[in-house]
Amino acid sequence: GLSASAALARRPSITGAELRSAVALPPPFQVPLPIPAVLKPLSTSDGSDHYQITQREARAEILPGVTTPLWTYEGSFPGPTIESRRGRPVTVTHRNELPVPTVVHLHGGRTPAASDGYPTDLVLPEGWPDATTPPGHEAGHGSGHGAPHVMHDPRAVVTRLTRDYTFPLDQRATMLWYHDHRMDFTAPALWRGLAGLHIVRDDAEDALGLPAGPRELPIMITDRAFAADGSLAYPSLDPTLRERPGVHEPYLAGVLGDVILVNGAPWPVHETDAARYRLRLLNASNARHYELEAVTDDGRRLDLVQIGADQGLLAAPVPHRLLPLAPAERYDVIIDFSGVPIGGRVRLLNRLGEGRTREVMAFRIARRAGDDSTIPRTLATDLPAWRRTDAVRVRDFSFRAGQLHDGRGWLIGGLPFDPARSDVTTRLGDVEVWRLIADVHHPVHLHLVGFQVLSRSGRPPLPHDAGLKDTVSLRPGEAVEIITRFDGYRGRYLFHCHNAEHEDMAMMANLEIT
Ligand code: C2O
Ligand code: CU
């Protein structure tokens, strides 16, 4: 086991400013776990699937007795799940009926730049003035958090009302997620509900015999806080968000809520068979980190057997007793309920939480049942084998707090995000090693590519760093080396911190592939 001080060192030193709900919170493990509906395509002709998603305001009864206004994809939070096959292209026509401009990004997608949701490629709502942002908000880094600042992007491709996003999905089977990515306003859009899942499957994965059907569960974890009228509490300077203005230095570290939602429901419970289940875990929280453990009524901890990372299956399973989940990370895990007494419960707990944020959800083991699923000892054989010596260059990036306009913000390599500046230019096909150095906890995400973790402060990667990732959690003071090959498409992409408030407070940079 870890010594107490080692365990302490594993905790994020800084997470965020916790907002407290002003409504009565329900007891844990009462609300059934919702499973987001799978979206039906409008058409499936020419070897591709065409979907339409309307972004609109909706209300939902998330907490009993109050309704919560949300920004949604198709009226629900999470949005509907899209299910695709590897290599079968998908077009999604997004229609923006929200009161603000939006941008859609498919997180983890190998997507041509024109459909990748660059933060200034806005979809304006119908009545929005021609300017890409409202008067007084010509840019303004950060959920309205930062100082207003005029910024113009000559390369932005702005559309009105609708935009077609095309996803080739020529990539490994995995669980992606789509979410808003508007410059400086991603955090409040996420908080208000603009997130959904997109699962890519393939034949190789199907052939493994993993738990499937009702024994495969998407688990999207978010934290939120609620105002007395049931609305989501979020501090923002932007009047179009109709929330309390103010100076938000306390929120520099990110915004945390005191209510844990799984698939949009507070501390839910799911009835299961006494069998193996596949959990597709996603931390879609703005800023909260989790360390998940699965605990039985008599205090036993069940293994979370990791079979996949952000970018698909591992070479071999990795068992965890404690699984850290940084914002935007996905973990594909198998949990075996067969040894749990019928009627018993397994709680998914968050070791980093306090009070109610220690609880996430529960499984109630309802019945005995057959189980012909397996966890093969070899999962995938197609993982890239990049070596340090393959790298044509090594780059260093610091992720640190710094001066942003007339306030404070978050910088990469000492600079705040600027769409007009070129930060990284690389050639299609090049292998590179990046050294990422953090002051506090930063989950760093690269668009377009998957990468492998080479080292953490000179030491070997941690067990949960296995496989191909698109988001890596930098712990306070750490230097993390990753290796990747920039293949797929040419064009303008991004890398950034996925603490959504850090991202909005300018911790983002351009990645140009030529
Ligand atoms: Cu999940 Cu650039 O984002
Ligand atoms: Cu960060």
- For residue 5, the surrounding DSSP H or E stretch is helix 4-10
- Closest ligand, as measured to the CA of 283: 1
Q: Closest Cα to atom 1, ligand 1: which residue?
A: 107
Query: Residue 134 corresponds to which tokens in the numbers above?
Result: 């409202």
Q: Closest Cα to atom 3, ligand 1: which residue?
A: 107
Q: What atom of ligand 1 comes closest to residue 177's alpha carbon?
A: 1
Burial status of residue 154 (CB atoms within 10 A of its CB: 0-12, 13-18, 19 or more): exposed
- Give the C-alpha distances (Å, rounded to integers) separating 326 from 87, 226, 287: 29, 23, 8
- 146 or 96, higher pLDDT: 96
- Closest ligand, as measured to the CA of 187: 1
Query: CB within 6 Å of ligand 1 — which residues?
Result: 105, 107, 179, 181, 328, 445, 447, 494, 496, 498
pLDDT value at position 11? 53
pLDDT value at position 131? 55
Which residue is associated with the tokens 């799978």?
Answer: 38
Distance from Cα 121 to the centre of ligand 2, integer Å: 23
pLDDT value at position 242? 45
In this predicted model, what pLDDT tens digit does every residue of 402-414 receive, in sequence order? Answer: 988 767 889 999 9
pLDDT at 251 over 90: no
pLDDT value at position 190? 96
pLDDT at 247 over 80: no
Residue 245: band (very low, low, confident or very high) from pLDDT cuts 50, 70, 90: very low
Residue 18: band (very low, low, confident or very high) from pLDDT cuts 50, 70, 90: confident
pLDDT at 268 over 50: yes
Would residue 193 be called left, alpha or beta, if left means φ above 0 and alpha means ψ between -120 and 50 degrees?
A: left
pLDDT value at position 153? 83
Distance from Cα 452 to the centre of ligand 2, integer Å: 20
CA atoms within 13 A on the CB side of 117: 26
Mean pLDDT, the chain, integer: 91
- The residues facing 335 across adjacent strands are 277
pLDDT at 12 over 70: no
Distance from Cα 496 to the centre of ligand 1, integer Å: 8
Q: What atom of ligand 1 comes closest to residue 496's alpha carbon?
A: 2
CB 221 within 8 A of CB 325: yes
Q: What atom of ligand 1 comes closest to residue 117's alpha carbon?
A: 2
Residue 452: band (very low, low, confident or very high) from pLDDT cuts 50, 70, 90: very high
Distance from Cα 502 to the centre of ligand 2, integer Å: 5
In this predicted model, what pLDDT tens digit does every residue of 183-230 receive, in sequence order? Answer: 888 998 999 999 999 999 999 999 999 999 999 999 999 999 999 999
pLDDT at 457 over 60: yes
In our burial notation (b when 16+ CB lie closer than 10 A, e otherwise), range 373-403 reads bebeeebbeebeebeeeebeeeeebebbbbe
- Closest ligand, as measured to the CA of 177: 1
Distance from Cα 43 to the centre of ligand 1, integer Å: 28
What percent of the chain is predicted at pLDDT more than 70? 89
The amino acid sitting at 47 is G
Question: What is the DSSP secondary structure assignment for residue 415, as one 8-state letter?
Answer: B
**Mean pLDDT, residues 157-173:** 97
- Closest ligand, as measured to the CA of 328: 1
- Closest ligand, as measured to the CA of 400: 2
Q: What atom of ligand 1 comes closest to residue 503's alpha carbon?
A: 2
pLDDT value at position 154? 85
Distance from Cα 216 to the centre of ligand 1, integer Å: 25
Task: Name every residue whose Cβ is closer than 8 Å to that of residue 7 and which is 6 or more positions away in sequence.
Answer: none
Residue 13: band (very low, low, confident or very high) from pLDDT cuts 50, 70, 90: low
Distance from Cα 193 to the centre of ligand 1, integer Å: 15
Distance from Cα 494 to the centre of ligand 1, integer Å: 8
Kindly tell me the number of DSSP H helices and DSSP E strands found in the chain.
4, 35
Q: What atom of ligand 1 comes closest to residue 447's alpha carbon?
A: 2
Q: What atom of ligand 1 comes closest to residue 328's alpha carbon?
A: 1
pLDDT value at position 248? 54
The CATH number, out of the four listed (2.60.40.10, 2.60.40.420, 1.10.645.10, 3.40.47.10), of the domain defined by the range 215-367: 2.60.40.420
**Mean pLDDT, residues 480-496:** 98
Distance from Cα 500 to the centre of ligand 1, integer Å: 9
Q: What atom of ligand 1 comes closest to residue 107's alpha carbon?
A: 1
pLDDT at 5 over 50: no
